[in-house]
Structure 1
Amino acid sequence: MDEREAFRIFATSEDATQTQRHIKPIHWYVACRLVLEGGFMPDEVTPRPPFTVDPRDGRLAYDPSAARGGERTILGGLKTKDIDVTILKPGLGPVLAVSCKGAIKAFRNLTNRLEEAVGDCTNIHITYPALVAGYLFAFRANREAGIVAEEAPAGASPRRQLAANDIAIGRGGDPVEVIMRFHHALSELTGRRGIRDDVSRYESVALTLVEPEGGRAGEILTGFPREDSRILLRNFFATLYLRYDERFVYAAPDLKQVTRRRIWAEGSPAFAVGDPAGLPHLPTSYEPRFAGAQGAGLYL
């Protein structure tokens, strides 16, 4: 799943939020990226991405039939919790988890989202203090001009009608106050570095606004968060990988055979243009974890 396509579905979906059809593509995008860029084995990731690894030479292939949906249930310190995307290492249990959340309207309810985020993070870290936890939140960047409802042609489904509480971007082009407050609050929930640090903080947090209309639907809004923000999407995954390597690779050299991340051969079928086992298109928002033509099956 490509980033642009995942966010396009999120930004344009007309399905009720209870179905989670607007957010599921983002789960798949994160899971696929953890394999291609992160170097994690496909069968370690839930939902299971559409990839297989050749046991003979370690080369990666694209295989839609290998994909498996669902969420993994994690034992928390207070209750069990279904996590959107999880990596489980044999003999170690869950080592990395990402919660993917989104809001398409009714932004007045963001306080509840914050309480949920803090509670979920605390719950998981109580049982698994070494687990690397990420929180990815996307807003549909509804603009104030969209409050005016448009009449749909006869026979067409009615277009979304926006109320004042559904607006993310004001007429001047800046995020509305409630979005700014949410950004500030999320910025205080990121940055957990060591296993003895505050269990209510995530290792990495990202906030993004997504264009909902026209040919730009699915594009990440530029200019917010600002370049000095602690929760930029472009830093989200790199921080997850860094925290993971610090805890499970560098700090535990005796476990490297289990914990270190794969480096994929550039000649793997998954990346070969025209190969039946190749990806429909290579990702453009990040680079796969390549080792070059001779690097099949190598590790960090």
Structure 2
Amino acid sequence: MPKSPSLPQYLALTPALKVFVESMQWQSQQHIKPLHQHFAIRLVLEGGFLPEEITPHPPLRAESRKGELTLVFDPSVQNQNEETLLGGLKTKNVDVVVQKRGIGPVIAISVKGTLNAFRNLTNRMEEAVGDATNLHLMYPGLVYGFFHVLKANRAGTAGIALNDVAVTKDGTAVGSITRYHTVLLALTGRLLVRDEFSRYESVALALIDPIAGPHGHIFPTFPTQNSRLRPENFFPSLLERYDLRFPYVAASIRHLNRVTWPATSPALVALGPPDQWERILGYQPRVS
């Protein structure tokens, strides 16, 4: 991505993943916060949600100009807040949340990052099931996404313990990760509000390679190309579920419709020519 002081740092996914994969400490959650910021930005640009509907607030403002909403980059409005939602069993701090006036939370995204100790992924499975159940008990219509990134530590790398290896010498994922993938497949794809509360509407699993390509490079061969857990499937699935769950069944509630942004919005103009947007961002903004 071309460097520009006027553009947010985490417009694209790769810079956020770079922070994760290069992190040496994770207790403060600073290694994962850039992913929260990326998803918040993307929910506006690609998702068509208003910046003020999203927590954490992205570095964007929607302004009314000549009767239409336009987007402006504004770093002064950005924050790193998390939203506390009341679940069916307990309160839950959620990484990224979209709330609609008069409705409440409509989209939530939980972001997890694991740098080592992959044999302990079973703990993540239990936590993921519990989180989905807790929030869906209170909000059956909530579109809930789970995005988990793992550092693709390679076998034979100096300083990497056996329990911290994610990828074998022949380039395949270790057994604990492939089993985790199998379990997550059973947790994704929740379609209707009456479906199992323990499942998510969308789940993604990504191995982040600390060696190949620019730092933040997604390991290309796992999950496999036909897996529903591929990271590129995550956002389309979330937005599809949202449209089915909300605007489709409540056409008279106009503010549930996702916004299309004018291509002349200052924020979009700052990205350069429209034919370069997908190359810069890795996704296509929702434009009119």
| TM-score, scaled to structure 1 | 0.88
Q: Which amino acid aligns with 1:81?
A: K
Q: Structure 2 matches for 1:1-12, cutoff 5 A?
A: 1=10, 2-12=12-22
Q: Structure 2 matches for 1:229-244, cutoff 5 A?
A: 229-244=227-242
**What corresponds to 1:249 in structure 2?**
247
Q: How many equivalent residue pairs?
A: 271
**What corresponds to 2:80 in structure 1?**
69
Identify the match of residue 211 of structure 2 among 205, 210, 213.
213
**What corresponds to 1:48 in structure 2?**
57
Deviation at 1:145, TM superposition (A): 1.9
Q: Structure 2 matches for 1:251-290, cutoff 5 A?
A: 251-255=249-253, 257-273=254-270, 283-290=280-287
Deviation at 1:186, TM superposition (A): 0.5
Q: Is the 8 A contact 2:181 2:205 kept in 1?
A: yes
Q: Deviations over 1:136-186 (max 9, x none)?
A: 00011110021x2xxxxxxxxxxxx32101110001110010110010010
- Tell me, what secondary structure is at the counterpart of 2:252? helix
Q: Which amino acid aligns with 2:270?
A: V
**What corresponds to 1:298 in structure 2?**
none
Deviation at 1:78, TM superposition (A): 0.2
Deviation at 1:215, TM superposition (A): 4.8
Structure 2, unmatched stretches of 5+, are 1-9, 273-277
**What corresponds to 1:177 in structure 2?**
175
Deviation at 1:192, TM superposition (A): 0.4
Report the Cα distance in structure 1 between the residues aligned to 2:82 and 2:136, rounded to whole angstroms.
18
Report the Cα distance in structure 2 between the residues aligned to 1:222 and 1:110, rounded to whole angstroms.
21
1:163 and 2:161 matched: yes
Q: Is the 8 A contact 2:85 2:92 kept in 1?
A: yes
| TM-score, scaled to structure 2 | 0.91
Q: Structure 2 matches for 1:73-84, cutoff 5 A?
A: 73-84=84-95
Identity %: 47
Structure 1, unmatched stretches of 5+, are 149-160, 276-280, 292-300
1:13 and 2:13 matched: no
Report the Cα distance in structure 1 between the residues aligned to 2:131 and 2:54, rounded to whole angstroms.
20
Q: Is the 8 A contact 1:271 1:282 kept in 2?
A: no
Deviation at 1:109, TM superposition (A): 1.2
Larger Rg: 1
1:118 and 2:129 matched: yes
